[in-house]
Chains A and B, each alone.
Chain A
Amino acid sequence: MISIKNVKKIYPSKDGPVTAVDDVNLAIENGEIFGVIGYSGAGKSTLIRMLNGLEIPTEGSIVVAGREMSKIGGSELRQARQEISMIFQHFNLLWSRTVRDNIAFPLEIAGVPKKERLKRVKELVNLVGLEGRENSYPSQLSGGQKQRVGIARALANNPKVLLCDEATSALDPQTTDSILELLVDINKRLGLTIVLITHEMHVIRKICHRVAVMEGGRVVESGPVLNVFKNPQQAITKRFVQQVTEPEETKETIKHLLSLYPEGQVIQLSFVGEGAEQPLISNLIRNHPLMVNILQGKISQTQNGSYGTLFIHLDGEKAQIDEAIAYIRSFEVGVEVIKND
């Protein structure tokens, strides 16, 4: 659906040229939810804005739904943009229009007659769950409701691709989750391809199928979300993964635990997919003459399976502990022995 090849974007500036996006290559499949994560200034917005021609790449090619975005202009570009819609961090609704008229705006642009417009708006209002608020003005809505209007507006012309630029960054965690659920629902129901950018791993974990990690304008790592969670390669990716798998205070807790349990071993287990759903600990205790203390754990759901970490303390004979660790490994569970240092 989207192919990004050797794309570079260089902005001229007073202090010399700024390379915002540097030699990015990505292929995004039809119907997938693709996430791009990175810290502020990584070039995410620049990248996503090139997908609908709001920015033109300095080098390389971008093909979206069969159109080479950097080569088209005028009415062809406007036509293409009706198939590639976008939602924004700050919603960008017209405050002078009611919810109904905001949602109708892209339909007016597309030249849909009034009667059909009203009918379509009604469907969209139901789809995003804003029944009864049609006559409200944006200033009378909460952030979550505003984003629902943004989503309804983006879906009005039955686009093929939905671009989300930090669409949940201005919302509280609960509202974020409800908007993310709406996006997953839309993705499943309409088969829409979604590209979303964020700096929150939570968002990636919750709804994305694949993810690309950006740093300094480059994509430094990409792949299915679960693989990236299971086996993060780059330091930056590890930091992002930690955002959702480990509570903030983990490091300190572990240090504390090591001092509490000088005997035996503290080990960290990482479960991915099926592994997370087996009664591993019960079996471990049943089959090995060991003391097993569960210290801390967390399991997260992703779009392609669950992922979790668990810290346990094993106490007993050295040989027994080694055997137990080998046993755990046989379940395709990642094991890391935490050393006291």
Chain B
Amino acid sequence: MIEEFFPNVNWERMWEATRETLYMASISVVATFIFGIILGLLLFLTSKGNIWENKPVNFIVSSFVNIFRSIPFIILIVLLIPFTKIVIGTMIGENAALPALIIGAAPFYARMVEIGLREIDKGVIEASRSMGAKTTTIIWKVLIPESMPALVSGITVTAIALVSYTAMAGVIGAGGLGNLAFLEGFQRGRNDVTLMATIIILVIVFIIQYIGDTITSKLDKR
């Protein structure tokens, strides 16, 4: 049945590409989550009226975030080619996409983290200070847990963006479903391959959305 509709699909290659996409997406989501939170915390804590209020640091981080958030991803990959060659050693294969994915997504996510942190009631932070909490305690036990629903829903949106970024990276040679759809599907005129790759990407996106929404509503005790 399925073979009839998708005569040209090499299922082994398709599965291999799916695995590569999942690999690129998951590594970059985890790294984006970590770097994004670090950057978001820096943005938040150094902003006016906060614990580490510091104009120069805030300005530098903020500019960095704004610049990398504004560069179109496809251009960012090209710009980062020299950097990627140094770090990964090659421009081909799944790992080659990671630097661009992370550098593209972390600033995007950092802004969402910052917004989430701003929504925390100032009174709660003040109450923690009045109890004698250290800044690290406030970060780990107040800021992160209290903004967790926003952090999770933000990483869900970012993860979905990352899946589409991996497809773009694939076109430049990074492997995965985007690469397969482009090389085997588009360039050889095999539309069924392109369609199948698209369906799989959609399924991945829906699953991410579902997991993200479930966790967010579980966490939200407000």
Contact = CB atoms under 8 A, between A and B. Distances in A.
Interface of A: 52, 54, 77-82, 85-86, 88, 90, 92-97, 105-106, 108-110, 137-139, 153, 157
A153 B130 CA distance: 11
Given A54-B126, A94-B124, A139-B221, A109 B146 contact: no
Contacts of A157: 131
Q: How large is the interface on B (under 10, 10 to 19, 20 to 34, 35 or more residues)?
A: 20 to 34
Contacts of A97: 145
Contact of A78 (B133, B141, B148): B133
A88 B127 contact: yes
Contacts of A82: 131-132
Contacts of A81: 129-132
A278 B189 CA distance: 106
A27 to B, nearest CB: 23
Contacts of B124: 92-94
Contact of A96 (B127, B129, B133, B146): B146
Contacts, number: 65
A103 to B, nearest CB: 11
Given A108-B141, A139-B222, A95 B131 contact: no
SS class of chain B's interface: helix, strand, loop or mixed? helix
Interface of B: 121, 123-124, 126-134, 137, 141-142, 145-146, 148, 219, 221-222
**Top 6 A-B pairs ranked by shortest CB distance?**
A81-B132, A92-B127, A78-B132, A92-B123, A137-B221, A86-B130
A137 B219 CA distance: 12
Contacts of B219: 96
A144 to B, nearest CB: 18
Given A77-B132, A94-B142, A97-B145, 14 more contacts: A81-B130, A82-B132, A85-B131, A86-B127, A88-B123, A88-B127, A92-B121, A93-B127, A94-B124, A109-B128, A109-B131, A110-B132, A137-B221, A139-B221
A93 B145 CA distance: 13
28 contacts: A54-B129, A54-B130, A79-B132, A81-B129, A81-B130, A81-B132, A82-B131, A86-B130, A92-B123, A93-B124, A94-B124, A94-B146, A96-B146, A96-B148, A96-B219, A97-B145, A105-B128, A105-B131, A106-B131, A106-B132, A108-B141, A109-B128, A109-B132, A109-B134, A109-B137, A137-B221, A153-B131, A157-B131
